Structure 1
């Protein structure tokens, strides 16, 4: 899919999701800015990872470039490095923790204007810790995708030189292509997953702090791209402190990192408040 087409779809998804939060104009603009900030920061990190991969590939011998085991070591080292882990942690704290707080405060004020939301609450810090757990799963998916591509290149190369050249070409394409582990599409996917978790997690905390909310109702994103398990969850009502049953996962809110990756990656579902 072309980058422009992907961005149009992403914009439509974001608009629908933001509409569901019932924010003021100022709050919405701030939320949109946080979305963009998170996406840009993650894109920057992925670009650095892509360049680091190319640099590491360039240093390998022709023999190592034909060895899937050696290539696997490079990818694991790349994704496990503290440098990139720290960058993702910073991105979460700078873009997605404020988003959590904004969504939570907005919900709380709508329910009780006398209640005071604090950005120092333990829930926000707990959320940051939980959302960071998404990064290893996403990096593992990235590693698996690249390894499959490298395996295919090695199988197609008739000589060591051909295999090495094909692996180098795949590395370069992955770092700068329209699709793949270091692309804008992946940055948007990661950002959308984290923003869904942040906004819904914040909403739930705001409802809890109001002390008048009784339950929550799952609201699935519309459209043919909504996964079947999420469409089936649409309308499901549970108590505020109980999880939704979505596929084989139990989720406290859409995007809950406690769920299986297939139920939270790229999710755009939200929740509605139940007062009685």
Structure 2
């Protein structure tokens, strides 16, 4: 799908989610900007990862280029570098922790004029760590995607030189974001997954700090793209400290990083506060 198409889908998802929050116009503008900043940071780090991988592939001899075992070693080596660990985790923290705080503070201000949101609360620290735990899974997905692509190239090439050339072409396309795990589609998928988690996680913490919200209700997003398990969860009511049961996962909120990938990736659901 074209870059513009994915951007339009992402914008529609953002609008639907933001409509579900109790935001002033000024808060909404800030939240939309944080969404965009998060996406830009993920795009930037994926571009750097793709380039690092391609540079490493370019240094291999023709014999090593057609050895899937050696290619796997290169993937692991690059992933163990700063770009695939420290910098990615830092980018996640920088991009989505502010969104968590704004969502939580916004909910708290609506519910209680006497409470003050703290940006140093323990819940926020725990959330940031849980969100960063998704990074190894995302790196694993990137490795699997590239491994399959390299295996296909090696299988399709008629001669060793043909196979090596195909591997280099796949690596170059991935580095440019034209294919593989470093595309705009991938960046939007990662960004929207993180955004949903951050906004819903902050929202839940704001409710807890208000001390006037007793429970939460799952609100499924609308449209044909909503998963069956999420539609089934629609209307499910739980105490603030009890998880929703969604598919095979127990989620404290939509997008909860503790959930299974199939239940949190590109989730667009939200929650409603229960006051009685």
Query: TM-score scaled by structure 2?
Result: 0.97
Q: Do 1:42 and 1:91's aligned partners in 2 also have CA atoms closer than 8 Å?
A: yes
The 2-side partners of 1:266 and 1:79 are apart by 24
Does 2:206 match 1:206? Answer: yes
Q: Do 1:204 and 1:253's aligned partners in 2 also have CA atoms closer than 8 Å?
A: yes
Matches within 5 A, 1:1-276: 1-276=1-276
- Unpaired runs of 5+ in structure 1? none
The 1-side partners of 2:76 and 2:248 are apart by 29
The 2-side partners of 1:16 and 1:103 are apart by 15
The 2-side partners of 1:182 and 1:223 are apart by 27
The 2-side partners of 1:84 and 1:141 are apart by 12
Shift of residue 89 of structure 1? 2.4
**Secondary structure class of the residue paired with 2:85:** helix
Query: TM-score scaled by structure 1?
Result: 0.97
Shift of residue 179 of structure 1? 4.4
**Secondary structure class of the residue paired with 1:181:** helix
Q: Do 1:178 and 1:185's aligned partners in 2 also have CA atoms closer than 8 Å?
A: no
Q: Do 2:93 and 2:132's aligned partners in 1 also have CA atoms closer than 8 Å?
A: no
Shift of residue 177 of structure 1? 3.7
The 1-side partners of 2:23 and 2:194 are apart by 19
**Secondary structure class of the residue paired with 1:217:** strand
Shift of residue 104 of structure 1? 0.5
1:53-73 per-position Cα deviation (integer Å, ceiling 9, x unaligned):
110110111111111111111
How many residues of Structure 1 are paired with residues of Structure 2 in the alignment? 276
The 2-side partners of 1:158 and 1:207 are apart by 62
1:106-147 per-position Cα deviation (integer Å, ceiling 9, x unaligned):
111111111011101111111110100111111111111111
Q: Do 2:241 and 2:252's aligned partners in 1 also have CA atoms closer than 8 Å?
A: yes
Could you say what the CA RMSD is over the residues aligned between the two structures, in angstroms? 1.1
**Secondary structure class of the residue paired with 2:254:** coil
